Amino acid sequence: MAMYEGTGTGGRVYTNVQANKDSKKVPVEKKPSAPEPSAYEKYKERKEALKQRVDISEEQIYTFPSDLKDGADAGYPFIMFSVLDNKGTGKVDICLYQPPGFSVADGASYTNYDMGTLKGGLALTNAVRKGEGVTDADLFSLALIGKDKLLTSSTVDKITSAGAVSAGVATNPYTRTAYESTNIRSFSFSFKLVAQSFEESETAKAIERTFRKFLYPKRAGSIALVYPPLFKIRFFSEGKERPNPYMPIIKPCYLTGLETTFNSSTVAMHKDTGAPVEVDISLTFQEERVLVRQDLYETDNDIEEQEGYFKDGDMGALSKSADSNLIEKGVDTVKAVGSSVKAGLQGGG
């Protein structure tokens, strides 16, 4: 064991402690490295790093007109627009009267395709096999098919097309209709907010700007943007605390359009505040995804529309609970509308 101090091989400087360590050459155990996170774990980390779509510290409720609660109790219909956060719960509720003429447009896209040569060849083969024979018109059509597939000369096209017209014979294209996709549904609403008090002017301003605010995405970094929030739209009537079963179920939507007109029929402003007397807002919403039948109706025997989405054979397996929570919250909101309106009126009186 080296017990001296000095310069060793390669210019290394030894001390008693260093010499003892070198002489023992105790192997150092390596700590096992942490496992590489999975792609899903990385995705969760990135998702958690992003801010929520809605970052509001307290719930907000806006009701217009101020006597909407009394009207709702009397049976007048109204609409509730709820701004959803990432968890699917509403943090902002906007309650407005239900305007006339609400429409729902469901649609699907189809296209035509020609089975053409293959179908025609099979039909001709089957006719021969069954002993039905081949007509002169069949032979002429077969020649036309051969021309279409083998020749590209414009001169030949003109000659054979003229011959087809003269003979009065054409090939059967065997055209079929093919399903492509269901259209993503969109919904439009128009409201005229005529304020009759200072409180209603403030509410109209808050409603219009809340819709505008949540139409836009939010910056979450140098180049990253967080999606705008989704809206839940529900219809209420007859003073009931549950959505009206006679109106359609609208799935979570993005606000895709907002058009505001101030004082469309007057130039008057409210005294002392300068607030416009009329605020007209037109809203366009679009559902977040294409629907399948089970998204709306759990079975083919049902006519009652369902909340949530169909997933893995279970009606709304992931999102139904969130929608149920939202409905419960909607009940509380409807109850709170009356007290908040009365408190606002007493404060302004």
Residue-range domains of the chain with CATH = 1-30 (no CATH), 60-105+185-348 (2.40.30.210), 110-180 (no CATH)
- The residue among 98, 339, 73 whose CA lies nearest residue 234 is 98
Structure-block tokens of residue 120:
């025609």
Q: Rounded distance, CA 287 to CA 71, Å?
A: 29
Q: Centre a 10 Å sphere on the Cβ of residue 100 and count the other Cβ atoms it contains.
A: 5
Q: For the chain, what is the mean pLDDT?
A: 74
How far apart are the C-alpha atoms of 15 and 220, rounded to whole Å? 56
Q: What is the pLDDT of residues 18-53, one digit of tens each?
A: 445 455 555 666 666 777 777 666 656 655 555 578
Q: CA 265 to CA 263: how far, in whole Å?
A: 6
Among all chains, which residue has been given the structure tokens 């006519």? 303
- DSSP state at residue 271: T
Question: Per-residue b/e over 152-181, b at no fewer than 16 CB within 10 Å?
Answer: eeeeeeeebeeebeeeebebeeeeeeeeee
In this prediction, residues 297-308 reach a mean pLDDT of 91
**Kindly report the CA angle at 91 between 85 and 93, in degrees rounded to 5?**
125
On whether the pTM is more than 0.85, the answer is no
Tens digits of residue pLDDT in 52-90: 788 877 889 999 998 887 777 777 899 999 998 766 666
